[in-house]
Amino acid sequence: MFESFILGAVQGVAEWLPVSSEAMVILVKTNFFTESPLLFSELISYAIFLHLGTLLAVLVWYWKKIGMLLSDALHYSSLHTEKKQYLNFIVIATGVSGGVGYFLLQLVEKYEYFFSNSFAVNIMVGIFLGITALLLFIGEKGYSRTNTTLTKWRAVLTGLFQGCAAIPGISRSGSTIAGMGLLAIDKKRALELSFILSIPLVFFANIVLNINTFQSFSWHHVIALASAFLFGIVTIAGLLKIVEKIRFSYFVGIFAILLILLTFVLS
């Protein structure tokens, strides 16, 4: 149960930081909890399962916003242009990211033998975190201070960035926020959209990958999800307060370098 709590906590914090929660869960699992080793694809499936806890955190934190979005969807034809664009953006970005993510997950599963030990996992995660840091650095140069129009092509490109997070080490929130920065969407709006876009993606990913998990649901799953939810709520609240003051790219870049160096030193 301690393992479940820790892994849930890692998910709750890392999901909203641009460091790939999947990668962090896999790193902690492979480096500290090795009593029952899993295949790399199984580790990814479990990490995606933990996203349900942070999904609940988003639903609770943004319940008013989500309620309005559902109401708008039911009255789509009578909406003004800006609200239609917002809804279109979410639907298109989700569809694109789902397709890209599923394709990449199939590739990861096909070549999972490359990541059969913690050294290979650590190096891979470090490299992709470095790529995320570079994307964030470039994206931070493009953030707009005005409400950029949420066009369909911006939705498609945002979906592509989010879909790349199927690769462990590419942060979903990081790549999505970086992509929106490159598309000149303001930073605070990008963070909110990143939260909202996680809802349908996590929901459908678990239907596709983890439907069997719910048939063997246990207290370990409950503890992991509760931990992810609690730490997720706290992290959302903290990030929204400091989002304009921090440089995500520096944080992720330093983390990636430290991870690779420590892997070689301790190997």
Total domain count, the chain:
1
What is the structure's pLDDT at 229?
93
Walk along the chain (267 residues) and give the pLDDT tens digit of each residue.
788 888 888 888 887 776 777 777 877 877 776 655 556 667 777 788 888 888 888 888 888 888 888 888 888 888 888 888 889 999 999 999 989 988 888 887 777 666 666 677 677 778 877 887 887 777 666 555 566 788 899 999 999 988 887 776 677 877 888 888 888 887 778 878 888 888 888 877 777 666 665 566 678 888 989 999 999 888 888 877 766 666 777 777 777 787 777 777 665
Give pTM, 2 decimals. 0.75
| Structure tokens given for 82 | 């800006």
Host H or E run for residue 165:
none
- Greatest distance between any 2 Cα atoms in the chain: 61
Domain containing residue 68 = 2-266
In 10 A of CB 111, how many CB atoms? 10
Integer Cα distance of 52 and 120 in angstroms? 27
What is the structure's pLDDT at 39?
65
Residues in the chain: 267
What is the structure's pLDDT at 147?
65
Q: Is there a contact between 135 and 175 (Cβ–Cβ < 8 Å)?
A: yes
